């Protein structure tokens, strides 16, 4: 059965390609800011479902449609993509001072033949060693923090040397935990 990644994330696309999956890509048109949920840990699953629902009518063949969403949580609060360079700078300073952001990723797979949904959530947390202001400025210049939940990139070469430890699966921070994806694809009959 054909795989379709319902995402505009270059990071998710890269992870799937490196894992050897062959798939098409559709970009969902969902205004995530309109989705307000009190519990930040529920939000990625609600958003991933909304992305699936936005794309179902665009798939006219037997396929497994894969959507995903990742958020960052810090001290129990949702941390979206920074809205400004100043906010990104503030987030990065906090991480350098010991605040450990948690990546919460949801994956939803929809089988267009059976109409069934398969879904799951995975969490991981990254702990950074202190890093200088010059690293923050370099990441702002080269790391595209405004496109990343929480404004950080655990895999980015500027921040990578400062990763002290990751509790959980790094791919859950990036936005596509392969162990969860493989389990859901198996459940969906792939």
Give one DSSP letter per residue of 58-76, joined into a string: G--SSEEEEEEEEEEEETT
In the annotation, is 122 catalytic? no
Q: Does an H or E element contain 11, and which? A: helix 10-18
Q: Phi/psi class of residue 20: alpha, beta or left (left: φ > 0; alpha: ψ in -120 to 50)? A: left
Give just the sign of the alpha carbon dihedral 139, 148, 172, 127: positive
Are 85 and 142 a contacting pair, CB within 8 Å? no
Q: Does an H or E element contain 167, and which? A: strand 163-167
Collect all residues with Cβ–Cβ distance below 8 Å to 103 and sequence separation of at least 6.
70, 71, 72, 123, 124, 125, 126, 149, 150, 154, 168, 172, 173, 174, 175
Q: Which of 69, 86, 144, 169 is flagged as catalytic?
A: 69
Residues noted as catalytic: 69
């Amino acid at each position: 059965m054909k795989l379709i990644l319902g995402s505009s994330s270059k990071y998710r696309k890269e992870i799937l390609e490196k894992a050897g999956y062959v798939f098409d890509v559709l970009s969902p048109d969902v205004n995530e800011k309109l989705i307000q949920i009190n519990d930040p840990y529920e939000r990625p699953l609600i958003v991933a479902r909304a992305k699936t629902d936005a794309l179902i009518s665009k798939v006219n063949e037997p396929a497994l449609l894969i959507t995903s969403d990742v958020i960052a949580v810090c001290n129990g609060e949702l941390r979206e993509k920074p809205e400004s360079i100043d906010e990104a700078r503030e987030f990065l300073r906090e991480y350098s001072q010991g605040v450990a952001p948690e990546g919460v990723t949801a994956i939803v797979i929809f089988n267009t033949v059976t109409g069934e949904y398969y879904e799951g959530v995975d969490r991981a947390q990254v702990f950074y060693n202190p890093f200088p202001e010059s690293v923050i400025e370099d990441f702002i210049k080269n790391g595209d923090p405004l496109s990343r939940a929480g404004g950080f990139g655990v895999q980015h070469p500027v921040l990578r040397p400062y990763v002290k430890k990751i509790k959980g699966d790094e791919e859950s921070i990036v936005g596509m935990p392969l162990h969860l994806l493989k389990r859901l694809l198996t459940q969906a009959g792939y």
